[in-house]
A = this chain, B = another copy of it.
Amino acid sequence: MNSNQEVIRRLSRYRNVMRKMKALGLIKVFSDNLADAVGVSPSLVRKDFSMFNLTGNKRGGYRIDDLVSKLNVLLGKDKKQKIIIVGCGKLGQALMNHNGFPRVGIRVVAGFDSDPEVLNSEAPIPILHIKKIREFIEENQIRVATLTVPEPAAQGMVDTLKKTCVKGVINFSPVSLKSSEDFLVHNMNIEQEIENLFYNIHFAETTVVKVQ
């Protein structure tokens, strides 16, 4: 992850903490609060904010409402976050109905597949034939897609998406795809993560070697 992405991730976490603080009735937040919640130093919080001209002061703190709405603009969160699901097997269909999305303002607008058995253009979230994907993307100005296609189809699908206005994908297929300058790929390889967890547990237990 580059430093830019790290800053964005922190800003997003500050924002999420503040939304929860606001739900508790709090009005102001101090850099120390955010530092504690996110696990960074208070000076880093202040540095992140000053970098984006988000104002407050060490003693008086920041107004949560102001800061959240400024962060929303900065993060593009004020815009609707429409996504499409490419590949509507079991995992793709689970994502289509994932109840964590509406809560954070993400809306799945369509799924795409080539299997006639899963196509359903009348469903609340339609599943359309993959050959319609480019037209749909341009008409609906889609920027982000999730890829839940079989491994052999993944790279070809990315090549197709790169020719549209899609600017990034979350890739669940079991192949690591690479980001390019104007197309971001975030790989979420579930089996790789589970394997790594087993390895870490195995290492912690055997402690054959100590890595410095």
List A residues at the B interface (Cβ < 8 Å): 3-5, 7-9, 11-12, 51-52, 74-77, 79, 81, 83, 90-91, 93-95, 97-98, 100-101, 103-104, 106, 143-144, 146, 167-170, 174, 182, 184, 186, 188, 190-206, 208-209, 211-212
Residues of B within 8 A of A94 (CB): 90-91, 93-94
Supply 22 A–B pairs (Cβ within 8 Å), ascending by A: A3-B212, A4-B200, A4-B211, A5-B200, A51-B211, A52-B208, A74-B208, A75-B195, A77-B195, A90-B94, A91-B95, A98-B191, A100-B174, A103-B174, A104-B195, A106-B191, A144-B198, A167-B201, A168-B197, A168-B201, A170-B197, A188-B193
Determine if A144 and B196 form an interchain contact, defined as CB atoms under 8 angstroms apart: no
Determine if A209 and B168 form an interchain contact, defined as CB atoms under 8 angstroms apart: no
